């Protein structure tokens, strides 16, 4: 018969938090899976459906499809976990079945640059591929973390494991159970570190808070009168010592809640009242989502490969902020524009602004069907000078 395509299976761990069979695991364990099966007590494989998943915090909530009553574990208070406390990680490393490793909490509030809501508990309990998604218990037998990322070039455990703290996770889990999606608070500001130099220039006692570099138009912050250059010192009574604390605390505040934000402007403290919006439906978030993976496509008629221009490109190359276009990432030898360079940006074709890759594709297609087969293109070269070129398509 014909060969059957079989989807590969990913292995991970999870734990049950409700008698009815609600299971918590990492999003990356179930991402893209068509069918999810949960093995309970080492013997039974039960089908489960995904109630909701959150790639930002790498969490997923499943429901086992069975009428059985399950034995759940309960969450502890991760804020009470201290460096040096003993912890136990349980999971299914390398598909070996239930394995218990122990260690201590090595550090807290760790961020390793995977997403913007990182606040990991770092432990030296072994966490390998496969026990990702499993519980990290304290000595009272309560779950204070969800084992997640491992930092290791070889994929083997390197004595550093990370767990999402249960307090942050629980909030997301409750939302996924209730709504099937997350509802994070949103301020609508872009922020940067307050360096010593900035603190000195702004006559702030020490480098602290989050400096607002940009305020999204029509956002909660815009409506509340926050301006670029303001330094956010306190959010709803919580001091912001380091910049990265702000997104975490905002995301964990209810959408629609009105909060007091203390800012530093013109050498004095001001209080602004902000009613939080919802991150997931904000324009900001949609733009961020688009930024994550710029689209890459080959433009057949030009024999070049391009990707969409990102906000980062614009900042790095100091281009006008409203620049749109596509960045050349590959040029074939017999391309009609083989004299251009990688990283040149095509901003215009036939006097039309290029906003997306398909804009360029359509113009090239139309030109190929025309009798003269030529197009006028505007580019930024790698010295960021704008140039027009006439291209004859084959």
Active site residues per annotation: 28, 58, 132
Token pair for residue 23? 């299971």
Pairing type for strands 296-299 and 86-91 reads unpaired
Alpha-carbon dihedral angle through residues 20, 25, 30, 36, given to the nearest 10 degrees:
-30
Token pair for residue 220? 């909660």
Q: What is the C-alpha separation between 212 and 191, in angstroms, rounded?
A: 5
Residue 252 · residue 199 · CB < 8 Å: no
**CA neighbor of 282 nearest in space, from 222, 324, 234:** 222
Total Cβ atoms within 10 A of residue 247: 20
Token pair for residue 389? 């070129």
Q: What is the C-alpha separation between 8 and 291, in angstroms, rounded?
A: 29
Q: What is the C-alpha separation between 377 and 381, in angstroms, rounded?
A: 12
Residues 6+ apart with CB under 8 A from 161: 89, 103, 122, 123, 124, 125, 126, 127, 147, 150
Residue 69, helix vs strand vs coil: coil
């Amino acid at each position: 018969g014909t060969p059957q395509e079989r989807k590969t299976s990913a292995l991970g761990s999870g734990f049950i938090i409700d008698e009815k069979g609600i299971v918590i695991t990492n999003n990356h364990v179930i991402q893209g899976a068509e069918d999810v099966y949960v093995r309970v007590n080492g013997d039974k494989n039960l089908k489960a459906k995904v109630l909701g998943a959150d790639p930002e915090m790498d969490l997923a909530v499943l429901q086992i499809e069975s009428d059985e009553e399950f034995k759940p574990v309960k969450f502890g208070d991760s804020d009470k976990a201290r460096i040096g406390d003993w912890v136990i990680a349980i999971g299914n490393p390398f598909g070996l079945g239930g394995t218990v490793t122990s260690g201590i909490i090595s550090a807290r509030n760790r961020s390793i640059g995977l997403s913007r809501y990182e606040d990991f508990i770092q432990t030296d309990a072994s966490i390998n591929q496969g026990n990702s998604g499993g519980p990290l218990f304290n000595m009272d037998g309560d779950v204070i973390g969800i084992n997640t990322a491992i930092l290791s070039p070889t994929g083997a455990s390197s004595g550093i494991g990370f767990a999402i703290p249960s307090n942050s996770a629980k909030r997301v889990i409750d939302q996924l159970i209730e709504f099937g999606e997350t509802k994070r608070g949103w301020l609508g500001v872009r922020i940067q570190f307050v360096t010593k130099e900035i603190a000195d220039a702004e006559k702030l006692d020490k480098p602290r808070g989050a400096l607002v570099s940009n305020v999204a138009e029509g956002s909660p912050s815009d409506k509340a009168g926050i301006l670029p250059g303001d330094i956010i010192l306190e959010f709803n009574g919580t001091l912001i010592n380091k910049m990265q604390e702000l997104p975490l605390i905002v995301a964990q505040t209810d959408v629609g809640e009105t909060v007091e934000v203390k800012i530093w402007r013109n050498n004095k403290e001001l209080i602004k009242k902000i009613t939080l919006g919802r991150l997931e439906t904000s324009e900001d978030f949609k733009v961020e989502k688009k930024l994550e993976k710029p689209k890459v496509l080959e433009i057949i008629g030009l024999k070049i490969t391009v990707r969409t221009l990102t906000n980062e490109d614009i900042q790095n190359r100091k281009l006008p902020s409203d620049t749109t276009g596509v960045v050349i990432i590959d040029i074939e030898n017999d391309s009609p524009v083989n004299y251009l360079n990688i990283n040149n940006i095509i901003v215009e074709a036939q006097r039309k602004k290029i906003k997306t890759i398909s804009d360029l594709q359509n113009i090239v297609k139309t030109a190929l069907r025309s009798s003269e087969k030529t197009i006028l293109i505007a580019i930024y070269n790698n010295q960021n000078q704008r140039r027009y070129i006439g291209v004859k398509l084959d």
